[in-house]
Amino acid sequence: MRNTTREEQLAERARTYIPGGAMNHAKEPRQDMLGYMPWYIERAEGCYLYDIEGREFIDYSSSYGPVILGYRYPPIEEAVRAQMEKGVLFSMPSPLEGEWAEMLANVVPCAQMVRAMKTGSAATAAAVRVARAATGREKVISCGYNSWHDWWVAKEGVGISKGIPSCLEGNIYDLEYGNLAFAEQLFQEHGKEISCLITIPYDFRGKPCLSFLRRLRSLTKEYGAVLIFDEIITGFRLSLGGAQELFEISPDMCTLAKAMGNGYPLSAYAGKADLMKLVPELQIDTTYAGEALSLAASLAVIREMRDKPVLEMIWHRGEELMTGLRRIFSNNGEILSVEGLPPAMTINPATDNPGAAHFKNLFIKHLYGQGVFYHSPLFVTFSHTEKDIECTLEAAENAVNKAAKEM
């Protein structure tokens, strides 16, 4: 019998005590990737992950989006260390709260007022509650993934799954990104009941659809509904002011998280002052909202991104990666394609090739095997260098060849 590896031993213990073996579904060890994908990460530095065997991986998951500058990025670590000397959570607000909220209001176009939360799901739930309170209406249109909370999971198409009260059914409509005709239909049929439309500005598959977003802006205005951009991925990644700044479309409210804290747990909901001024009357509260280490980290992130060419470099490196991957895939029958924008891109199997999904899985396995950590979307950070992109493209070329041999 084969000896089990240390990874398998750790996974066995984790599966005994943690449902699914990890704290997030997406990070559960994948049996089919054993020996290729790193199941446990011991530490991270810059754009590199180091697993428990000391193997190094160039990371393109960036912790599922939050890491924008790089792991253990010195100015952020220094800001957090300095704050740690003063304390983490106090019985009254720290002065950082106002400083951070003002900074955010200065860079995010729709943000006249801001409140912090700890997770993206908490921020979207809060924004939707504000919209319902402001309009006195209950129904919601949602486009894209916005939350694991009941209000969102109850949406049509996602399905009333186990643990979700069936009374929530019919309160939330599922709008596919770009499906303008359905958006028009929903407003024509239910316009007077719709409190808000919450949408991701872009899903990094296909092209950004600005005509869709512009029409959502005008429809929500026309019907008196609140337009919320869920910028949990796009905020601080496409531009300092998020997709709303890049696309020049201003929503009434937005939600932010991920890149805003470079890995420190922080989210926010923000918007026009007349909406946000309702918050003190509403039951929206969480003990850890003003936790000072994350606020210190976020202030340092915003300063760093404001004062250095962080986003220019991320767009540039991302462009190099996209162009290189496209060249590799076009030399291999375009069984895979690259979509998205340079700061966040997806690799997709050709829809007209039945073997393409299997090919993609083999490709990913061999990327891991050559020290490149993949998860979709691929996020480039300020710490990725030209050399890292070159090494990644070399690994991708080898991975394509290895995958082709195994088909």
Ligand X SMILES: Cc1ncc(COP(=O)(O)O)c(C=O)c1O
User: What residue number has its CB nearest to ligand X?
Assistant: 120
Binding mask 207-236 for ligand X (x = CB under 6 A): -----------------------x-xx---
142 binds ligand X (CB under 6 A): no
3-state SS of the chain? CCCCCHHHHHHHHHHHHCHHHCCCHHHCCCHHHCCCCCCCEEEEEECEEEECCCCEEEECCCCCCCCCCCECCHHHHHHHHHHHCCCCCCCCCCCHHHHHHHHHHHHCCCCCEEEEECCHHHHHHHHHHHHHHHHCCCEEEEECCCCCCHHHHCCCCCCCCCCCCHHHCCCEEECCCCCHHHHHHHHHHHHHHEEEEEECCCCCCCCCCHHHHHHHHHHHHHHCCEEEEECCCCECCCECCHHHHHCCCCCCEEEECHHHHCCCCCEEEEECHHHHCCHHHCCCCCCCCCCHHHHHHHHHHHHHHHHCCHHHHHHHHHHHHHHHHHHHHHCCCCCEEEEEECCEEEEEECCCCCCHHHHHHHHHHHHHHCCEECCCCEECCCCCCHHHHHHHHHHHHHHHHHHHHHC
- The interface region with ligand X, picked from 96-104, 143-151, 312-320, 364-372 by CB under 6 A, is 143-151
CB of 338 to ligand X, least distance (A): 20
Q: Which is nearer to ligand X, 380 or 399 (CB)?
A: 380
C-alpha 231/C-alpha 257 separation (Å) is 8
CB of 224 to ligand X, least distance (A): 24
Q: Which is nearer to ligand X, 110 or 395 (CB)?
A: 110
Q: Which is nearer to ligand X, 263 or 324 (CB)?
A: 263
- The count of residues interacting with ligand X (CB under 6 A) is 13
Nearest to 316 by CA among 368, 389, 404: 389
119 binds ligand X (CB under 6 A): yes
Q: Which is nearer to ligand X, 120 or 349 (CB)?
A: 120
- Give residue for tokens 């026009």: 272
Among 94, 135, 147, 262, binds ligand X (CB under 6 A): 147
- Give residue for tokens 């399905």: 159
- The interface region with ligand X, picked from 14-22, 145-153, 154-162, 171-179 by CB under 6 A, is 145-153
The number of residues in the chain equals 407
CB of 307 to ligand X, least distance (A): 27
CB of 144 to ligand X, least distance (A): 6
124 binds ligand X (CB under 6 A): yes
CB of 257 to ligand X, least distance (A): 5
- The interface region with ligand X, picked from 88-96, 139-147, 217-225, 355-363 by CB under 6 A, is 139-147
Residues 357-386 that bind ligand X (CB under 6 A): none
Among 14, 200, 249, 399, binds ligand X (CB under 6 A): 200
Which residues make beta-bridge pairs with 58? Answer: 48, 372
Q: Which is nearer to ligand X, 178 or 369 (CB)?
A: 178
Among 61, 63, 83, 146, binds ligand X (CB under 6 A): 146
Binding mask 75-114 for ligand X (x = CB under 6 A): ----------------------------------------
C-alpha 38/C-alpha 207 separation (Å) is 32
- The interface region with ligand X, picked from 83-91, 118-126, 289-297, 352-360 by CB under 6 A, is 118-126
Q: Which is nearer to ligand X, 18 or 82 (CB)?
A: 18
121 binds ligand X (CB under 6 A): yes
Residues 5-64 that bind ligand X (CB under 6 A): none
257 binds ligand X (CB under 6 A): yes
Q: Which is nearer to ligand X, 135 or 199 (CB)?
A: 199
Read off φ and ψ for residue 209, nearest 5 degrees.
-110, 90
Binding-site ranges for ligand X (CB under 6 A):
119-121, 124, 144-147, 200, 230, 232-233, 257
